Structure 1
Amino acid sequence: MTFASRLAAGETLFTSWSGIPDAITVEVVASLGFDAVTLDMQHGGHHEDSVLRGIAPIQHANRHPVVRIPVGRWDMASRALDFGAEAVIAPMVNSVADAQRFAAAMKYPPVGERSWGPTFAMPRAGGGDAKNWLRESNAGTVSFAMIETKAALAALDGILETPGIDGIFVGPADFSIAWTDGATVDSTLEEMMETITSIASRTRAAGKHAGMYVVDAGMCGRFVGMGYNLLAIGAEHRYMALGAEALLSAARNSIR
């Protein structure tokens, strides 16, 4: 099943987060058991070449490749799809105009303005007929607009109504900074949780998918209860730290 079909079927999907721009590291991350791997170009070190090379090991591991593009790099949304990404997350979509530009890069006409050229995507997907690819791609690629600011929250309904926008992805760290007017960064800030719930309910009511970056994995159940069905958990540094902590603790306890 594709990433889009699994979301449409109501599955809750977990994506790992990759910031190290190395295909071998991505290969290891893809083996960890997550449903998808997100290559982060915004705050992570990924770039065009590492995305191009990183998608292949994700596919080889039968995981879904997702890319978070840099702020305003709508051209990279199309590039990521042409490399084989199944979904793209766009940060700082703060207006309907931003959403329209993002959707235009994500979808072929008549929905958007994506240029034809799936040079790597089609072969990596096993080839196939170009007409079928054109006909099925708009439904098979998932566009997530990130909601991280007060401006984005105010424009949420218009963003959800934008043709070609398939979902909303909440960035809780930036949202907490916006919520507190720069006073703190707290991804689990309790005073914003009612609004976080409202974002999910409005998104699901519009027939769209709701995603969230989760800092505290113990919050996942609560977020699923709100309506979020794509959850991003941790990154390579966190995975290595937790693994090393567990191994060292076992070793030291065995000596004691």
Structure 2
Amino acid sequence: MTLLAERLTRGEAVFSAWSGLAHAGVVEAIAGLEFQAITLDMQHGAHDEGSVERSLLPITASARHGVVRIPVGRFDMASRALDFGAEAVIAPMINTVEDARRFAAHMKYPPLGERSWAPYLGMQRMGRTDPQEWLRESNRNTLALAMIETREAYALVDEILGVGGIDGVFVGPSDFSIAWFRGERIDPLAEDIMDAIAAVGRKAVAAGKHAGIYITDPPTVGRFHKAGFRFFAIGNENVYMAQGASNLLAAARASL
């Protein structure tokens, strides 16, 4: 199976589903859709350690890329997510260089980081059998994506990208807009927000690292792609069900 890190390094556009419902059966159903990756959300979704462990099984079994967004400050969960078989971890509220360093330390084995050794479940799910090979390649094959969603983080994007072990950034445009407008409104499609986000993508490319974003309006993917973004998370279970039901009912009613 081609790894997520390999796809992004080649410049492929990768589309991820977003899962907030902590049920492996729902995740299994999503894994049957056309998304290449599935992101399990522990920050605002209902996923916890147990559901992440269970949900990564159908993801890896379906040859999809498993991504986990951990809760704020739960860097210990970053290591656990990797041990469960995740290929990438998104960490929210990385607002300082020290935040980025702490996150990277839990994501990478020595000498780059401080991740401890217990990969056997992840190795099994990824079809790997050689521990030495796993150790040798894991730092390259697992992705630490720092979220940029505040003015503080935006001002430090270059420094955050420069931290060893940080493989890229992930933008949360709704939170970014709230911070940008100092809590006065939420507007992720405002033109100055779009321009600022595009600047983040260009900075990531210039640093030789990856850029991802949660997409609130699918037609904006092309604009962000031109700015260097290659990892795009779109919708969630509620959106998929609502749009699917709407399409089915529209087709049924049109036949009357």
TM over 0.5: yes
1:60 aligns with 2:57: no
Q: Distance in 2 between matches of 1:46 and 1:197?
A: 30
Deviation at 1:195, TM superposition (A): 1.2
TM-score, normalised on structure 2?
A: 0.98
The residue that corresponds to 2:75 in the other structure is 74
Structure 1 CA distance, aligned partners of 2:44 and 2:184? 21
Name 2:38's counterpart in structure 1: 37
Which stretches in structure 2 are left out of the alignment for 5+ residues? none
Aligned AA (1:162): V
Moved more, 127-136 or 138-147: 127-136
Other-structure match for 2:212: 211
Inter-partner Cα distance in structure 2 for 1:33 and 1:157: 34
The reply to whether residue 98 of structure 1 matches residue 99 of structure 2 is: yes
Compute the displacement of 1:127 (Å). Answer: 3.3
1:218 is displaced (CA, Å) by: 1.1
CA distance in 1, matches of 2:69, 2:218: 20
Give matches, 1:69-148, under 5 Å. Answer: 69-148=70-149
Aligned-residue RMSD, C-alpha: 0.7
CA distance in 2, matches of 1:194, 1:216: 15
| Runs of 4+ that moved beyond 6 A | none
**Equivalent residue letter for 2:102:** R
Name which of structure 1's ranges 162-171 and 119-128 shifts more when overlaid on structure 2: 119-128
Partner of 2:235: 234
Offset of residue 176 of structure 1: 0.2
Gaps of 5+ in 1: none
Deviation at 1:226, TM superposition (A): 1.3
Question: Distance between the aligned counterparts of 2:196 and 2:180, measured in 1?
Answer: 10
Q: Quick one: which amino acid aligns to residue 132 of structure 1?
A: E
What TM-score comes out, normalization by structure 1 length? 0.98
Structure 2 residue identity aligned to 1:133: W
Instruction: Supply the distance in 2 between the matched residues of 1:126 and 1:210 (Cα, whole angstroms).
Output: 27
Kept in 1, the 8 Å contact 2:128–2:134? The answer is no
Give per-residue Cα distances to partners, 1:98-134, cap 9 Å, x unaligned: 0000000000000000011113101112232111110
Q: How many residues align?
A: 255
* Aligned residues with identical type, % of pairs: 57
| Distance of 1:127 and 1:15 partners within structure 2 | 24
